Chains A and B, each alone.
Chain A
Amino acid sequence: MLSRTAENLYWLARYVERAEYIARTIDATLRVTALPAAYIGKTNEWESALLTAGVSASFYEAYQEANEQNVVEYLAFSPSNPSSIKNCIEAARLNSRSVRTALTSEMWDTINSAWIELQEVWGKGTSSREELARFLRFVQETSLRFDGSAYRTMLRNDAYWFSRLGLHLERADNTARILDVKYHVLLPEEEHVGGPLDYYQWTSILRSVSALTAYHWVYRETLKPWLIADLLILNDTLPRSLASCYSNLVRNLDQIGVAYGRQGASQRHARGVRNRLEHSHMDDIFQHGVHEFIQEFISDNARLGEIITRQYLI
């Protein structure tokens, strides 16, 4: 297929995934900030929402204070934030238009309808919490519909695999960013001094990767920070864990390699990252430092993006 088409499909999936992630971040932050101050301590949750979205620096160029109104506006609707939900959906639609021939009509319909709704219903932003909740639901549903229609209607060929690469690469980045911002509340077993304060931080982390229920099913335990880290980093069964994202990246890259009859740098790099995750234990990670581990992962993941681009997309 055309390199440009592959590139567009890859970015299309990334934008949709990112929009959903930002929506989840806002949603989780709203829940934490609704709690009485005694439960959440002095940390500014809106500040950390900006950090997990990776847009903290650019935010302060436009705003003074990281409060609910400003952060929601910036993350959801701001035209000057390239990762705002609005911009993600617009970029996704533009990408879709450029590769319409590679999309199924269901996928196009999802993105196009979302884009129309974005303009017609949400053109002026939201004016109440209730409206905001509806908006966030709309974004998450769009992502689900898009993902579902890709899964159900696309031919299983390179177009599908490139779109999945974008999805999993973005997803891995998002999960890693949450861990990066919140690593200080995820402590090894022996250092655990959790109060009610941390408890709500933990549920918030799990909620932003839609893993709160999953946690209980996997561990059948009350919330323990080292288990949360284990779930999000190493547990292959959780779709948003780093391990799961890399199983998928390796598989999709292998499928491309087989179809084209040629393996390359991206296959090797992805397999390297996957192997490291497979052979890691939480104890070692804590010993080595969660923060360092995550930092390294984020840069490895970004490297994979660059290698895929060089190998296939230009």
Chain B
Amino acid sequence: MAVAFDEMNGPGGDLRPAYRELSRWLKETPPDALEYRRQEAELLFRRIGITFAVYGDAEAQERLIPFDVIPRIMSAKEWATLEKGLKQRVRALNMFLRDIYHGRDILRANIIPDDLIFQNPVFRPEMNGQSVPHDVYVHIAGIDIVRVDADNFIVLEDNARTPSGVSYMLENREIMMRLFPDLFARHRVAPVERYPDELLSALRSVAPLSASAEPTVALMTPGVYNSAYYEHSFLADKLGIELVEGRDLIVKNDEVFMRTTEGLKRVDVIYRRVDDDFLDPLTFRPDSALGVPGLMSAYAAGNVTLANAVGTGIADDKAIYSYMPEVVKFYLDEEPILKNVPTWRCREPKDLSYVLDNLGDLVVKEVHGSGGYGMLIGPAATKATIEAFRDKLKREPEGFIAQPTLALSTCPTCTASGLAPRHVDLRPFVLTGSKHVTIVPGGLTRVALKEGSLVVNSSQGGGTKDTWILDE
């Protein structure tokens, strides 16, 4: 594996300009002051109740995601490239979804094999021919980006279903501003606080035609036991909209209403943080108690907008991911600005035999997995794990893709033995409304706190950092 690119001390150890002020500040600040602030930050997080749940871990039903107080910094120029690339990518994702559920030009052009779509469990035949307001399917996208050198940002994953983490972007900033006002005074950091406003206007802009001039938006959560519940309540609060559960909603004559103390009130746009499968027991899983019976028929009648739309999973599926560069070119007739990680599709015999020969060097992921569960990181795995995985892979090759282990960039991070480089990724949040695609400058930086670890997922011991885009 190549030596990782460090975002503060670039190749050869030269201090990179965006970090000049931070580096000076770090030299002036005694290490125990940092430790003290770190503890203070943790206390704040706990008091505010910013927690997440880890499934299958009864001991710690609610856990804090470790927060690293050293910000991750990018220059305005780096951000500008990234922003352009993200907007391009999300436009293509929306056009792809519109096409897949309507004319299917991309299949006829033989760019993506039919069976990858039609035999894919996240493809929703219910959406065939269904029109959605302004052809927007992915209103909120969380695109996972990694960096391998000074110039290249690579998309690791397109999260087009119900991406989470934006509350950390906002709360991390709040807490950093409380803890380090002096450090902020020495930088010009682009603000992120307008995200809730932009989200609300994007959601209102896609209200159905039958909605009133002041459409009612609600955020739908699976409930307090969901791992991202804090974020759901946080966003509902910031947006000033009701936080509803399935049982608060009722469908009558193909319209959706919420039960209020004053009777039923119509809901026009639902920012749903509930997976497709659980939305409507009449259409999807009949055993789901989280959903609303009849919701899909109100949706089909065009009386309610779901954000994100149903069936967007087909766009961020790991099997489709490898085709994204072609998808961008096909719909936009532009070169993709953000690269993909080179990907071997195990469903293709040639790729499979390469992957089987090189398991020790590759990362193998389940096509339908998420959260870092069920993947093999070859270089870090024992022989036995690799062999067990090999059997799994041979049994069901179409369930897997493989990628080289990337040398993710590193950022200085507080550790038990002082500041040390740790691997990071970035999840910016891209909003699409009826007219614009917008991104607040920043995102959620996740950091793998264990030395050498490449897994940044919070469910696997990752932490977060505030992400600063310098406004030059």
8 A-B pairs whose Cβ atoms sit less than 8 Å apart in the complex = A2-B244, A2-B248, A3-B260, A100-B237, A101-B243, A112-B47, A162-B261, A312-B261
| Residue of B46, B233, B236, B248 most packed against chain A (CB within 10 A) | B233
- CB neighbours (8 Å) of A256 from chain B are 261
| C-alpha spacing A97/B134, complex, angstroms | 35
Q: Which of A94, A112, A260 has a CB less than 8 Å from the CB of B261?
A: A260
- CB neighbours (8 Å) of A4 from chain B are 245, 247-248, 259
Q: Is B262 an interface position by the 8 A CB rule?
A: yes
| C-alpha spacing A2/B264, complex, angstroms | 9
> Which residues from 106 to 163 on chain A have a C-beta closer than 8 Å to any C-beta of chain B?
108-109, 112-113, 116, 158, 162
- CB neighbours (8 Å) of B223 from chain A are 98
**Chain B residue, CB-CB nearest to A158:** B261
Q: Is B42 an interface position by the 8 A CB rule?
A: no
Given the known A-B contacts A1-B261, A260-B261, are A101 and B237 also in contact in the complex, defined by CB atoms under 8 Å?
Answer: yes
- The answer to whether A3 and B259 touch across the interface, beta carbons within 8 angstroms, is yes
Q: Identify whether the interface residues of B are mostly helix, strand, loop, or mixed.
A: mixed
Given the known A-B contacts A2-B242, A4-B248, A101-B243, are A260 and B262 also in contact in the complex, defined by CB atoms under 8 Å?
Answer: yes
Q: Which of A1, A98, A109, A260 has a CB less than 8 Å from the CB of B224?
A: A98
- CB neighbours (8 Å) of B236 from chain A are 101
Q: Is A231 an interface position by the 8 A CB rule?
A: no
Given the known A-B contacts A2-B248, A3-B259, are A97 and B49 also in contact in the complex, defined by CB atoms under 8 Å?
Answer: yes
Given the known A-B contacts A3-B261, A260-B261, are A112 and B243 also in contact in the complex, defined by CB atoms under 8 Å?
Answer: no
Q: Is A13 an interface position by the 8 A CB rule?
A: no
Residue interface mask A289-314, B partner, CB < 8 A = 1: 00000000000000000000000111
- CB neighbours (8 Å) of A116 from chain B are 46-47
Residue interface mask A211-241, B partner, CB < 8 A = 1: 0000000000000000000000000000000
Q: Looking at the assembled complex, report how far the CB atom of B419 sits from the nearest CB atom of chain A, in whole angstroms.
A: 30
- The answer to whether B261 and A6 touch across the interface, beta carbons within 8 angstroms, is yes
- CB neighbours (8 Å) of A5 from chain B are 242
| C-alpha spacing A105/B237, complex, angstroms | 11
Q: Which of A94, A113, A313 has a CB less than 8 Å from the CB of B47?
A: A113
| C-alpha spacing A108/B48, complex, angstroms | 8
- The answer to whether A2 and B258 touch across the interface, beta carbons within 8 angstroms, is yes
| C-alpha spacing A4/B319, complex, angstroms | 41
Residue interface mask B22-65, A partner, CB < 8 A = 1: 00000000000000000000000011110000000000000000
Q: Looking at the assembled complex, report how far the CB atom of A107 sits from the nearest CB atom of chain B, in whole angstroms.
A: 12
- CB neighbours (8 Å) of B237 from chain A are 100-101
Q: Looking at the assembled complex, report how far the CB atom of A1 sits from the nearest CB atom of chain B, in whole angstroms.
A: 5
- The answer to whether A108 and B260 touch across the interface, beta carbons within 8 angstroms, is no
- The answer to whether B49 and A112 touch across the interface, beta carbons within 8 angstroms, is yes
**Chain B residue, CB-CB nearest to A260:** B262
Q: Is B331 an interface position by the 8 A CB rule?
A: no
- CB neighbours (8 Å) of A158 from chain B are 261
> Which residues from 218 to 260 on chain B have a C-beta closer than 8 Å to any C-beta of chain A?
223-224, 229, 233-234, 236-237, 242-245, 247-248, 258-260
**Chain A residue, CB-CB nearest to B221:** A98
Residue interface mask B256-286, A partner, CB < 8 A = 1: 0011111000000000000000000000000
Q: Which of B47, B224, B260, B261 has a CB less than 8 Å from the CB of A97?
A: B224
- The answer to whether A100 and B260 touch across the interface, beta carbons within 8 angstroms, is no
| C-alpha spacing A3/B46, complex, angstroms | 29
| C-alpha spacing A6/B236, complex, angstroms | 16
Question: Top 10 closest A-B pairs, CB basis?
Answer: A100-B233, A101-B237, A312-B261, A3-B259, A6-B261, A101-B236, A97-B224, A260-B262, A112-B49, A98-B224
| C-alpha spacing A97/B50, complex, angstroms | 11
| C-alpha spacing A312/B46, complex, angstroms | 34
| C-alpha spacing A61/B422, complex, angstroms | 56
Q: Identify whether the interface residues of A are mostly helix, strand, loop, or mixed.
A: helix
Q: Looking at the assembled complex, report how far the CB atom of A103 sits from the nearest CB atom of chain B, in whole angstroms.
A: 9
> Which residues from 52 to 110 on chain A have a C-beta closer than 8 Å to any C-beta of chain B?
94, 97-98, 100-101, 105, 108-109
| Residue of A2, A116, A158, A314 most packed against chain B (CB within 10 A) | A2
- CB neighbours (8 Å) of A94 from chain B are 224
Q: Looking at the assembled complex, report how far the CB atom of A194 sits from the nearest CB atom of chain B, in whole angstroms.
A: 49
- The answer to whether B260 and A2 touch across the interface, beta carbons within 8 angstroms, is yes
- CB neighbours (8 Å) of B243 from chain A are 101
| C-alpha spacing A113/B46, complex, angstroms | 9
- CB neighbours (8 Å) of B248 from chain A are 2-4
- CB neighbours (8 Å) of B262 from chain A are 260
Q: Looking at the assembled complex, report how far the CB atom of B337 sits from the nearest CB atom of chain A, in whole angstroms.
A: 38
- CB neighbours (8 Å) of A100 from chain B are 49, 233-234, 237
- CB neighbours (8 Å) of A6 from chain B are 261
**Chain B residue, CB-CB nearest to A96:** B49
- The answer to whether A2 and B259 touch across the interface, beta carbons within 8 angstroms, is yes
- CB neighbours (8 Å) of B48 from chain A are 105
**Chain B residue, CB-CB nearest to A161:** B261
| C-alpha spacing A142/B464, complex, angstroms | 33
- CB neighbours (8 Å) of A108 from chain B are 49
**Chain B residue, CB-CB nearest to A97:** B224
**Chain A residue, CB-CB nearest to B239:** A101
- CB neighbours (8 Å) of B259 from chain A are 2-4, 314
| C-alpha spacing A5/B229, complex, angstroms | 15
**Chain B residue, CB-CB nearest to A108:** B49
- CB neighbours (8 Å) of A98 from chain B are 223-224
| C-alpha spacing A155/B307, complex, angstroms | 31
Known: A1-B260, A97-B49. 9 other contacts (CB 8 A): A2-B242, A3-B248, A4-B247, A97-B229, A100-B233, A105-B48, A112-B49, A260-B261, A314-B259
- CB neighbours (8 Å) of A101 from chain B are 233, 236-237, 242-243
Q: Looking at the assembled complex, report how far the CB atom of A3 sits from the nearest CB atom of chain B, in whole angstroms.
A: 5
| C-alpha spacing A313/B262, complex, angstroms | 10
> Which residues from 156 to 208 on chain A have a C-beta closer than 8 Å to any C-beta of chain B?
158, 162
Q: Looking at the assembled complex, report how far the CB atom of B290 sits from the nearest CB atom of chain A, in whole angstroms.
A: 14
**Chain B residue, CB-CB nearest to A115:** B49
- The answer to whether A109 and B261 touch across the interface, beta carbons within 8 angstroms, is no
| C-alpha spacing A116/B223, complex, angstroms | 21
| C-alpha spacing A196/B8, complex, angstroms | 80
Q: Looking at the assembled complex, report how far the CB atom of A4 sits from the nearest CB atom of chain B, in whole angstroms.
A: 5
Residue interface mask B304-320, A partner, CB < 8 A = 1: 00000000000000000
| C-alpha spacing A100/B243, complex, angstroms | 9
| C-alpha spacing A314/B260, complex, angstroms | 8
| Residue of A6, A100, A113, A312 most packed against chain B (CB within 10 A) | A100
- CB neighbours (8 Å) of A260 from chain B are 261-262
- CB neighbours (8 Å) of B224 from chain A are 94, 97-98
Q: Looking at the assembled complex, report how far the CB atom of A76 sits from the nearest CB atom of chain B, in whole angstroms.
A: 22
Q: Looking at the assembled complex, report how far the CB atom of A259 sits from the nearest CB atom of chain B, in whole angstroms.
A: 9
| C-alpha spacing A94/B248, complex, angstroms | 18
**Chain B residue, CB-CB nearest to A98:** B224
- The answer to whether B233 and A97 touch across the interface, beta carbons within 8 angstroms, is yes
- CB neighbours (8 Å) of A109 from chain B are 47
